[in-house]
């Protein structure tokens, strides 16, 4: 269906020589670069802008505070730093990391209308990731009439440490509160870059997508964005927990901090070197604490703002979430993310014990008859009654895709439909091209994060008219059209992406053959999970 042409799109990702641009915002003046997008159009880049005070010393682990002003002209041409994070056996980044990048095709003047704003939150399991341009180049998105913002937020223990004493101001979710403060900065400053503060899309991937959905549910970000988009991640993921409220005690014990008093523990943890904290978290990950740093349901207190007061499903069912247009979806093999490690038998060590993937909110007693029944259902459906092995690796991939992505996205759709009349759009991505990159095991499916490469420039070029080019341009058209109008179907497209309706869960299938509106995505798989929740889920 897609025709191929013989010449390349060459993307210029370097600044035009001797071409800078200044913008003045309430904090001070910024000097940025003039750049070109993938079609040769000009845009302006302003990087490394502080939106919060450095979260160090007594601000470590706490909600962020608004950044201060500066004198003179701040150089906004240098890349922002990474937040401290664990990468394999090393760590990188710095604690002073709460900065953002802004990209715009036009600066404000009397002849230019304000543009829709797209604010992006990166993924990385709340343990890794950053907003640097080498990973998220705006050259694709800025072929359209939008302003793009991408922000850093604290990850790992720095962003998600929590104490059981709410009076100390460390109730968890500091990284999510960073996102809120960044959104406030955008609301207050984006007009100076040609953006419309009344037309903001919040979007993200993986942990960033989950963050977007959590922001949809949180009262803290009320009025700060007007549309939301989640790629491969929602708040009904099995990862949200109340059981991490004492993660500070786990870290303190490992560091041999010998006190049970929360104030003393906090003071000591704020004095420990950042490097020692990162090393402690890495060591705990390696000995059986793989998820110490995740969003939690916070302990509420009258004297501090709470980001997440209740379990996400309860918030959705109460109707107390933002009633705005929402677009979300996942790839056909998001579950490949489980194969970042494979043992000698070709089996993911994470999935070899399938009992650990019975969702915690089903509250199944270990080694009970109910647990045995559920495990047998999984084995019968995904493995034809056998164990996970190299020979039936497809079962592993599909199981984890359904467990962590397909069913949570489906469940969010069904639950939110009951409480909102605003449109919800669903997609399913299966296009396999050179932009996808290499996935583990050379599996014929679209792995976790591959779809992001169609929206952000990562250094790869594509032939004009190739499948990857056409998929990328169509996705950019739809994502930016959704940002501008709240509807992902641009004028002149040969199909209409319809929102889902109760009993008609339609989705846009993005494939090598084209873009098709289909219904009843993964019907048998989702019915299995729906039946389990219908039988075992009991709301507290």
Give the pLDDT confidence of 259-295 residue by residue, as tens digits. Answer: 989 999 999 999 999 999 999 998 898 887 767 889 9
| pLDDT above 90 (res 48) | yes
In this prediction, residue 351 carries a pLDDT of 59
In angstroms, the CA 338 to CA 321 distance is: 31
Task: Report the pLDDT averaged over residues 96-116.
Answer: 93
454 pLDDT band, cuts 50/70/90, is very high
- With a cut of 70, say whether residue 9 has pLDDT above it: no
Higher pLDDT, 509 or 111: 509
Question: How does residue 5 score in pLDDT terms, banded at 50, 70 and 90?
Answer: very low
1-324: CATH number:
3.40.50.1820
- Eight-class DSSP state of 80: P
Of 140, 2, 5, 131, the residue nearest 459 (C-alpha):
140
Domain range list for the chain:
1-324, 334-540
For 173-198, what is the mean pLDDT?
98
- Per-residue confidence (pLDDT) for residue 495, from 0 to 100: 85
Residue 1 pLDDT > 70, yes or no?
Answer: no
The b/e string for 201-226 (b: 16+ C-beta within 10 A; e otherwise) is bbbbbbbbbbbbbbbbbbebbeebbb
Is 166 within 8 Å of 159 (Cβ atoms)?
no
pLDDT digits (tens, 9 = 90+) for 440-451: 677 889 999 999
In whole angstroms, what is the distance from residue 221 CA to residue 227 CA?
A: 12
**pLDDT confidence of 342, banded at 50, 70, 90?**
low
Mean pLDDT, residues 292-313: 86
pLDDT in the model for residue 15: 45
In degrees and rounded to multiples of 5, residue 275 shows phi and psi of -60, -40
pLDDT value of residue 359: 86
The reply to whether 1-324 and 334-540 are identical in fold is yes
At residue 506 the predicted structure's pLDDT band, cuts being 50, 70 and 90, is: very high
What is the value of pTM for the model shown?
0.93
Q: List, for residues 353-403, the tens digit of each pLDDT value.
A: 788 888 888 888 888 999 999 989 998 999 886 766 666 678 888 999 999
Strands (E), 447-525: 506-511, 514-519
More confident site: 436 or 45: 45
pLDDT number for residue 440 = 65
Tell me the Cα Rg of the chain. Answer: 23
For residue 179, what pLDDT is reported?
A: 99
Tell me the pLDDT of the chain averaged across its residues.
89
Cα 346 to chain centroid distance, Å, stands at 29
Backbone angles phi, psi at 59, to 5 degrees: -90, -5
Of the candidates 45, 91, 162, 206, the residue annotated as catalytic is 206
Cα(511)–Cα(509) distance, integer angstroms = 6
Q: What percent of the chain has pLDDT over 90?
A: 70
Cα 327 from Cα 203, distance rounded (Å): 9
- Give the pLDDT of residue 12: 41
pLDDT at 312 over 50: yes
Kindly indicate the confidence band of residue 346, based on its pLDDT and cuts at 50, 70 and 90: low
What's the pLDDT at 23?
96
Q: Is the pLDDT confidence value at 74 over 90?
A: yes
Q: Using one digit for the tens of pLDDT, what is the confidence trace for 402-441?
A: 999 999 999 999 999 999 999 999 999 999 998 988 766 7
**Tens digits of residue pLDDT in 121-174:** 999 999 999 999 999 999 999 999 999 999 999 999 999 999 988 889 999 999
The reply to whether 305 belongs to the active site is: no
Give phi and psi for 357, each to the nearest 5.
-105, 15
CA angle 356, 358, 364 (to 5 degrees): 105
CATH number of 334-540: 3.40.50.1820
What is the pLDDT at residue 99? 99
Q: What is the dihedral of CA 296, 299, 305, 309, to 10 degrees?
A: 60
* pLDDT at residue 388, rounded to an integer: 61
User: Could you identify the residue written with the tokens 């037309």?
Assistant: 199
């Amino acid at each position: 269906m897609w025709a191929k042409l013989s010449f390349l799109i060459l993307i210029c990702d370097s600044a035009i020589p001797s071409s800078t641009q200044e913008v003045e915002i309430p904090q001070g003046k910024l000097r940025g670069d003039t750049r070109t997008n993938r079609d040769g159009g000009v845009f302006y880049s302003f990087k490394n802008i502080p939106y919060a005070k450095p979260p160090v010393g007594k601000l470590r682990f706490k909600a962020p505070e608004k950044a201060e002003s500066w004198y003179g002209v701040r150089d906004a041409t240098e890349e922002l730093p990474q937040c401290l994070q664990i990468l394999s056996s090393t760590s990188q980044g710095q604690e002073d990391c709460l900065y953002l990048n802004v990209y715009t095709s036009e600066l404000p003047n009397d002849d230019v209308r304000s543009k829709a704003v797209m604010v992006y939150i990166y993924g990385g399991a709340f343990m890794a990731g950053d907003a640097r341009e080498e990973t998220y180049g705006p050259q694709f998105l800025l072929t359209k009439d939008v302003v793009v913002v991408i922000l850093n937020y604290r990850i790992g223990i720095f962003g998600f440490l929590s104490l059981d004493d709410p009076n100390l101001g460390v109730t968890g979710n500091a990284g999510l509160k960073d996102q809120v403060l960044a959104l406030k900065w955008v609301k207050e400053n984006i007009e100076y870059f040609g953006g419309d503060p009344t037309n903001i899309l919040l979007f993200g991937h993986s942990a960033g997508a989950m963050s977007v959905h959590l922001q949809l549910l949180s009262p803290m970000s009320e009025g700060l964005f007007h549309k939301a988009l989640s790629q491969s991640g929602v708040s009904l993921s099995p990862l949200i927990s109340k059981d991490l409220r004492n993660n500070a005690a786990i870290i303190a014990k490992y560091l041999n901090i010998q006190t049970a008093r929360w104030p003393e523990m906090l003071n000591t943890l704020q004095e420990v070197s950042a490097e020692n904290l990162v090393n402690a978290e890495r060591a705990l990950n390696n000995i059986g604490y793989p998820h110490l740093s995740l969003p939690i349901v916070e302990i509420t207190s009258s004297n501090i703002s709470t980001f997440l007061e209740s379990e996400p499903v309860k918030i959705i069912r109460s109707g107390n979430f933002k009633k705005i247009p929402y677009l979300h979806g996942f790839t056909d093999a998001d579950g490949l993310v489980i194969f970042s490690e494979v043992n000698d038998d070709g089996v993911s060590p994470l999935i070899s014990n399938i009992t650990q993937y019975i969702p915690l909110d089903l509250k199944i007693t270990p080694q009970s008859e109910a647990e045995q029944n559920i495990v047998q259902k999984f084995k019968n459906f995904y493995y034809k009654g056998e164990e996970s092995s190299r020979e039936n690796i497809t079962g592993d991939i599909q199981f984890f895709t359904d467990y962590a992505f397909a069913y949570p996205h489906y469940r969010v759709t069904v639950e939110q439909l009951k409480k909102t009349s605003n449109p919800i759009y669903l997609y399913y991505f299966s296009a396999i091209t050179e932009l996808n990159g290499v996935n583990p095991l050379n599996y014929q499916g679209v792995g976790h994060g591959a779809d992001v490469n169609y929206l952000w420039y990562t250094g790869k070029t594509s032939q004009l008219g190739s499948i990857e080019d056409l998929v990328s341009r169509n996705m950019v058209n739809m994502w930016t059209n959704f940002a501008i109008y709240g509807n992902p179907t641009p004028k002149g497209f040969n199909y209409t992406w319809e929102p889902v309706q109760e009993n008609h869960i339609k989705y846009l299938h993005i494939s090598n053959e084209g873009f098709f509106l289909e219904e009843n995505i993964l019907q048998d798989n989702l019915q299995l999970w729906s039946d389990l929740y219908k039988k075992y889920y009991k709301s507290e």
